[in-house]
Structure 1
Amino acid sequence: MILLALIALTSYAGVKGDVINNTFGYPQCQGMAYEFDGYTYMHIPYSNTRLWNQCAFPNPLHDHKLCGRPEINGRHYFCDPDKLMESEKPGAVIDGQLKELQRRTSTLCVNTNGEHESFIVAVAIIDRILIPDLNSSQLCSNECGRLEPYLDLTQSYPSFTEQQEIMRNFADNLRQKWSLGFCDNEVVIFYCREFNMVHISAGLKASQYLTKAVTDDLQDTFITYINVEGLQTGLELGLVHMISTLRTALRGFTYAHVIIIIHACTLLIVGVLLFLYFGVRKVDSDVWGYTYPWVITDWVLQFISGIWFVKAMITSMAFMSHHEKGDGLLWALGAACGATFLCFLLYFISLEF
């Protein structure tokens, strides 16, 4: 009896573990009727439109053609299956900016292929969405995150709050299914024309930089572009603005900020020393005739300003030019070329930050 009780308790616990979907907060659907049927949208024949859900939604990394991207080579991060952007050029611009964002943000981790990953941002835009009935007593989530049952639109339409929840659930599931990043470093921007609503879904690391205030402001600005400029122009301008803002927000505190702070502190120190050296020193010398303490200031100024380095270079080149073997000028030229190469190298490294 005790053994049977333990088996029953274990089975109950297993069922309870399967019933609750802890990732998105909805009960797991039970029964064959709720299994994924292989279609990512429902086709409406009379209007020739598609109602999208997140099950098997096209992934821009792999499904280039389904996402409306004509290019088949390389990686893509923009998916427009309904071709809301009638021209291919704006989509290519958005795709290019999404790739550029990865090059302009800090490296966060190394994936299984040995590639260094920074923040990854992808965009999905659709015309219409399959609307679930959030008020149903049988509301549940199937194995791929689609909410069941569907809402009877002839009887009611979701409220603004319900639309926000539908968008959130779709975007969060989409980010999980796409698996763009290796270390929760991905962000998915999802827009639905039917709701005229956009939602930003961020992974754990990205959400540390994208607070609710930041995302709310981005989403409001995006919708303002569409309302003012119209769908075509508004989509392009809104996405460009959003990606540009995300690129700045996701940078955080990088090496570039460290370099800027060091340079600012150095300029401040040089300014103070120059003021003391040219201003206070003259008064001190005229009154007391005592200039030895200012030698230290002189040394510091020469070191910070690079005068010592220039003197060392000139002295070294002069010494090498009088080399007894006669090849001193070649050594001096090589040193100058090496220094020039080092300057260019430092410049290109700085561009990465």
Structure 2
Amino acid sequence: MPFIAQRDDRTVIPEEVGDGEDVICPSCSEQMRARGPFENGTARHFYHLTGSDAGGCNGVSGGESDTHRKLKSLAVSALRQKYDGQYTRCVPEAAIDVSQTETAPEQRRADAFLEFTEENRFFGRGIIVEVQYRNEGKDVQATTHDYLSQNFSVYWAIPDDFQNDRFLIDQLEEAFNTGNEEAYSPYQDEPPSFTSRDQTGKNSYEKARSQFTREDPIPNCSHAFVDIGGRRRCIRCDLCTENRVFDPQRQQFYRPKPYSGAETDAENVYDLESVEEPVSPRRIEERGEEPSIHSHDWRVNYNRRQEEWCTCSWSGCEATITLEPDRVVIDHAVDATPDDERPKCDHVWEELEFTTVCTECGKER
């Protein structure tokens, strides 16, 4: 089956040509048209108008770039068949805007690109297949970073993913299900960082997955979790927690998407990666003893007085945490009384724009 043709002095593949559009065979110069893909898995391909074999011509070109184009076309055909009715666009050589990512390029061109009509729970906005056929030109780490940053999944296909003029899309799905090193998706992978390059500038990135558990890996620590650097982290042992949804099919915890139905199933789990290496938390200074009637539930307060300051959300509790450069001060405030020696107020707190105020005595916290 031919997969390469000429149109207006340009090389094209079947996925770039509409039904009924005439193109020229590069081998015999006869007219061809495109057809497919078919339900039996046959990819979209060209056929000669003068007969089934056009005198024995199969339209095959031996050029390396032509083979690369053919593999892209096979990948697009397989994506169209597999996700029929679920996508708005499925094309080869799609331009992707990556100007908002950390890399230098403003745009990347995906070999095979599929964008879903609605965001997919597992694959994000869509699936990109990059065909690695004797092509050392693409920076895998930076390209993967850009696609994940734009909420697209990416699969790095190799020639073994293609057999008998078909892209083996079942291998793609299996790679995502098992966490294969060639498959990256927003629900289970973070965009690769650029700190993992050696002195030659080459990638030394190895795919890593955060491992989460429902059971506390450091049960002997009296945790005090606060928001530090965008993560919910214990100031005593450095253990991190995250809200994740467990997917039984893939046996993975993944980050819930904002405003999605899955968000209601999210649970607070512990990140084992955060305590794999020994840590040296800041020195902790505690004032008073933690009350017996409740455990502090810390929340970060951002106001004009102090940016790194936490209070307990338990009603009536005045305990605070202050994060300083060289220490952490936990003030349980169990015996705190107003400075003017008035009877202790059973505070009723109300959230205002920049602070929290007791509606009974006017005290701020």
Structure-1-length-normalised TM-score: 0.26
Rg larger in 1 or in 2? 1
Greater strand share, structure number: 2
Higher normalized helix content (fraction of residues): 1
More RCO (CA 8 Å, sep 6+): 1
* TM-score computed with the length of structure 2 as normaliser: 0.25
